[in-house]
Amino acid sequence: MTDRLGLAVVGYGMTATSHTRTFGADGHHLRWLIGRVPERAAAFANEYGYGKNGTDLEAALNDRSVDAVILCTPSEQHEAQALACLDAGKHVLIEIPVAMSAAGAARVADRTRASGLSAMVAHTHRYHPGIRTAHAEIAAGRLSLSNIVARYMFLRRENVGGSGYRRSWTDNLLWHHGCHATDLVMHLLGASSGAQVEVVSIIATPDASVGAPLDLSIVLRTADDRLATIAMSYNAHLSRYDYVLIGREDTMEIRDGNMKERHGTPADVPGADTANSPSPVVLQNREFHASILEGRPPSISPDSVLPAMEVLQIAQDAADALAPR
């Protein structure tokens, strides 16, 4: 393999567009575009210069010129497709969630370790400037967390993605966007297992039109009595994505991925990422590439996201236990 990857991208939505542009700009080879609808797959492939396109992932996995696969598919497909890629000897970048259960995530983690290949989960929010700055402050002992309050909410009462295209699948608030928020909370708390935290969750009953819950709350408490509250909604007419980090030394706000002062102005943190730094997606995808070249696990391996997946499973199990039978 050369220092540039031969890639297959699975999906043609907004996320696939972002990965295509990012990897293409870094000089990687766009070998295959795989999609559900042949006409849309062909149109996307032609627009971005893919060598081949089709609807069958196996065709791309059988192509020796493909080094790695980028999965931008419905959440329910991630686990099976990731395992298929690893079994075919391909490195794989998996959009979140890595699976729709903690057990499924563990299967991908186990297979990744056994294969010796690079598998990375696209928890892109870990690369946001404010998150990286906060994590560095915590690691250096300059911020001793006592509480985190996280909000992630916007309006999604229909199965329409960010590109405006009506999806063939239903988004899942807990396992998709809830995965982002829960992973970041566990990441900032330094919790290495879901068993290390007490979890209390309330998940709304599934919406009649969408067929999935549109609101939820999760509260976590660590063994050393630090708290975190995650509030999420697909019902909100106001879009909010923020974290308030309450520490003994200071209180930090991260809004839309960027650090803010107490009054909402951009924070001037020494050593923080600047507006000229590469985007979170670029940083993430370059880390995936570097892990392959260097023969090491990427910074966000399936193993590293298991703590968040275990918390989500606890919340899911609690909701299932209360569901009408």
DSSP reduced 3-state for 163: coil
**Looking at the predicted structure, is the pLDDT value of residue 183 above 60?**
yes
- Domain annotation covers residue 274: no
Q: Residue 277: its pLDDT value, please?
A: 81
Determine the Cα–Cα distance for residues 194 and 314; give it in Å rounded to an integer. Answer: 8
Q: How many CB atoms lie within 10 A of CB 190?
A: 14
| CATH number of the structural domain spanning residue 285 | 3.40.50.720
Residue 6 in tokens: 């031969």
**What is the pLDDT confidence band of residue 167, given thresholds at 50, 70 and 90?**
low
| CATH number of the structural domain spanning residue 242 | 3.30.360.10
Q: Are 90 and 117 in contact (CB under 8 A)?
A: yes
Instruction: State the total domains in the chain.
Output: 2
Q: Residue 193: its pLDDT value, please?
A: 86
- Domain annotation covers residue 1: no
Determine the Cα–Cα distance for residues 56 and 33; give it in Å rounded to an integer. Answer: 10
- Domain annotation covers residue 266: no
Same domain, 129 and 253: yes
Q: Residue 171: its pLDDT value, please?
A: 85
Q: Mean pLDDT throughout 182-199?
A: 92
Same domain, 174 and 214: yes
Determine the Cα–Cα distance for residues 125 and 1; give it in Å rounded to an integer. Answer: 30
Q: Mean pLDDT throughout 232-246?
A: 94
Q: Are 90 and 65 in contact (CB under 8 A)?
A: no
- Domain annotation covers residue 268: no
**Looking at the predicted structure, is the pLDDT value of residue 14 above 70?**
yes
Q: Residue 121: its pLDDT value, please?
A: 98
**Range of the structural domain that residue 200 is part of:** 125-261+308-322
pLDDT tens per residue across span 101-148: 999 999 999 999 999 999 999 999 999 999 999 999 999 999 999 999
Same domain, 61 and 143: no
The dihedral through the CA atoms of 218, 128, 105, 109 has a sign that is negative
Q: Residue 228: its pLDDT value, please?
A: 97
Same domain, 78 and 143: no
- Domain annotation covers residue 303: no
- Domain annotation covers residue 270: no
**Looking at the predicted structure, is the pLDDT value of residue 264 above 70?**
no
Determine the Cα–Cα distance for residues 315 and 197; give it in Å rounded to an integer. Answer: 12
Q: Residue 210: its pLDDT value, please?
A: 83
Q: Residue 265: its pLDDT value, please?
A: 66
Q: Mean pLDDT throughout 242-248?
A: 95
DSSP reduced 3-state for 23: helix
Residue 174 in tokens: 């807990």
Report the Cα 85 to chain-centroid distance in Å. Answer: 18
Q: Residue 281: its pLDDT value, please?
A: 97
Determine the Cα–Cα distance for residues 68 and 308; give it in Å rounded to an integer. Answer: 25
Same domain, 152 and 235: yes
Residue type, 80: A
DSSP reduced 3-state for 131: helix
**What is the pLDDT confidence band of residue 324, given thresholds at 50, 70 and 90?**
confident
Same domain, 181 and 315: yes
Same domain, 114 and 12: yes
- Domain annotation covers residue 272: no
**Which residue, 258, 231, 264, is CA-closest to 149?**
231
Same domain, 288 and 190: no
**Looking at the predicted structure, is the pLDDT value of residue 196 above 90?**
no
Same domain, 167 and 191: yes
**Looking at the predicted structure, is the pLDDT value of residue 1 above 60?**
no
Question: In Å, how far are 161, 202, 246, 272 from 252, measured between CA atoms?
Answer: 31, 26, 7, 13
Same domain, 249 and 157: yes
Same domain, 112 and 168: no
pTM of the model: 0.92
Q: Mean pLDDT throughout 54-68?
A: 98
Same domain, 252 and 194: yes
**What is the pLDDT confidence band of residue 211, given thresholds at 50, 70 and 90?**
confident
Q: Mean pLDDT throughout 19-44?
A: 97
- Domain annotation covers residue 244: yes
